[in-house]
C-alpha cells in the first residue's frame, strides 16, 4: 500500500454534498482521475464530508503543483470573462 505524503482538503461544495457518490463529487473525481493519467500516478484517498473534499496522490510532484495552485492568489486583473 502506498502512503500519501499528505492530504489536500478543499471546501469545494455546499455542505449538503456529503459523500463521494454525490454527482458533483463524482464529476470532480473524474477530473482528478484525468490528472492521475497525465502524471502517471495514483489517487490514494478521496473523501467528501459536508462539502469539503479530501484527496491525495502518490506523487509528491503533483501534490506540490496542486498546493502551488491553491496558494496562488487570484489575479485582480482576471475578471473571469
Give per-residue pLDDT as tens, 2-57: 555 689 999 999 999 999 999 999 999 999 999 999 999 999 999 999 999 999 99
Radius of gyration of the chain (CA): 14
User: What's the CA gap between 50 and 43, in Å, rounded?
Assistant: 21
Q: pTM (2 decimals)? A: 0.80
User: What's the CA gap between 42 and 78, in Å, rounded?
Assistant: 33
First to last CA, the chain: 44
C-beta separation of 79 from 27 below 8 A: no
For residue 20, give the C-alpha cell.
463521494
The SS3 call for residue 55 is strand
Amino acid at each position: 500500500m502506498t502512503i500519501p505524503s499528505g492530504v489536500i482538503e478543499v471546501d469545494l461544495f455546499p455542505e449538503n454534498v456529503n459523500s463521494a457518490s454525490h454527482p458533483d463529487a463524482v464529476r470532480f473525481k473524474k477530473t482528478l482521475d484525468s490528472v492521475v493519467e497525465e502524471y502517471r500516478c495514483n489517487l490514494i484517498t478521496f473523501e467528501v464530508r459536508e462539502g469539503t473534499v479530501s484527496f491525495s496522490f502518490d506523487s509528491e510532484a503533483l501534490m506540490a503543483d496542486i498546493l502551488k495552485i491553491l496558494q496562488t492568489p487570484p489575479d485582480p486583473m482576471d475578471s473571469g470573462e
